[in-house]
Amino acid sequence: MTISDVARAAGVSVATVSKVVNGRYGVAAETSQRVLEVVARLGYETSLVASSLRRRKTNVIGILVAEFEPFSTELLKGISGAVGGTGYELLAYSGAVSDDNRVGWERRSLSRLAGTLIDGAVIVTPTVVVAGAGIPVVAIDPHTGPGGPWTVDADNVGGARAAVEHLVGLGHRRIAHVRGRTDLESARLREQGYRESLAEAGIGFDPALVRDGGYRASRTTDSARELLSLPDRPTAVFAANDLSALRVIEVAHELGLRVPQDLSVVGFDDIPEASSGDQRLTTVAQPLRQMGARAAQMLLAMLDGAGTEEHVHMPARLIVRETTAPPPA
């Protein structure tokens, strides 16, 4: 079903069909009428690919993610809400990830889509600073602060501090940290907040209590096992995100530890899964939907040639739920 099929069926040239379909002037009303009928009858719809190859603008916004997991899908909901009704279409793309392109996937995805398929992009948790894409780009939870594209993120240091201070306030002294994706600024900042709070509470930093979790459940498993099998086991864990925190709790259960009686756990993000399980996770909430919406608005503004803020920071706040308690006596 191509434009040629329509042209043939209507007895006109493809150029005429194109004009009719795109509402260009210079087509006789009668011809237009006939073409439209054929289009409707055949169910023809112009190919996004072909037209975007030729045109400059596609009216499509790309959302580049590594994977569709709770974090990115929350953002997606926010973006979808903000873009709805603007006439733009959304194209959320997750390129195939293999081990060798785990870093740099966003540059690849962007090159593949930019200039042709999408007019602008919001990139979720890029692993490298993406610049010179040729199209407007907003990064959410970016690789690094300034220098790169415009960004949206939450108060990572403040959130982490709130989490650790909560734990300290409960009486914990041996507080472990499961690190996030080390290529992300947010992970660095959360660890920084963790260290700052420890220092302020007069608790020495113990490198043995910090392990990588990579923001992923699978990467967290071993780290959690090691941490919870330590001779001098921590009484609390501050995980860099909810996925890690949730996995820490599972591992704790495997090891016969009760949460929060034997072990307190705090996460970060407040994805829906954090509060929908049997036990509700104490966590630092990022306003994910709003962050997505904000990023979309910024992109829309850039696309319109309008000015907009370049780096937006949103507040993060601690939500105390059921996985934290004073340490065992």
The residue ranges that bind DNA (CB under 7 A) are 2-4, 11-16, 18-19, 21-22, 24-32, 44, 46-47, 50-51, 53-55, 115-116
Q: Does residue number 303 form part of the binding site for its own copies (CB under 8 A)?
A: no
- Of positions 33, 68, 218, 254, contacts its own copies by CB under 8 A: 68
For residue 96, the partner it binds in DNA, its own copies, none, with Cβ less than 5 to 8 A by kind, is its own copies
Minimum CB separation from DNA for residue 244, in Å?
Answer: 38
Q: Is 114 helix (H, G, I), strand (E, B) or coil?
A: strand
| Rounded distance between C-alpha atoms, residue 222 and residue 213, angstroms | 9
Phi-psi region at 239: left, alpha or beta (left = phi > 0; alpha = psi -120 to 50)? beta
Is the backbone peptide bond immediately before 260 cis, with ω within 30 degrees of 0?
yes
As a whole number of Å, the end-to-end CA separation of the chain is 73
Q: What is the DSSP string of 9-70?
A: HHTS-HHHHHHHHTT-S---HHHHHHHHHHHHHHT----HHHHHHHSS---EEEEE-SS--H
Binding site partner of 171, from its own copies, DNA, none, Cβ cut-off 5-8 A by kind: none
24 binds, among its own copies, DNA, none (CB under 5 to 8 A by kind): DNA
Q: Cα 261 from chain centroid?
A: 33
Which helix (H) or strand (E) element contains residue 121? Answer: strand 120-124
Q: 197 or 282: whose CB is closer to its own copies?
A: 282
322 near its own copies (CB under 8 A)? no
Residue 73 contact partner, candidates DNA, its own copies, none, CB within 5 to 8 A by sort of partner? its own copies
Element (H, E) at 273: none
Least Å distance, CB 68 to its own copies, is: 4
Residues in the interface with its own copies (CB under 8 A) total: 50
Residues at the contact surface with its own copies, assessed by CB under 8 A: 1, 43-50, 52-53, 59, 67-70, 73, 76-77, 79-80, 84, 86-97, 107-108, 111-113, 115-117, 134, 271-277
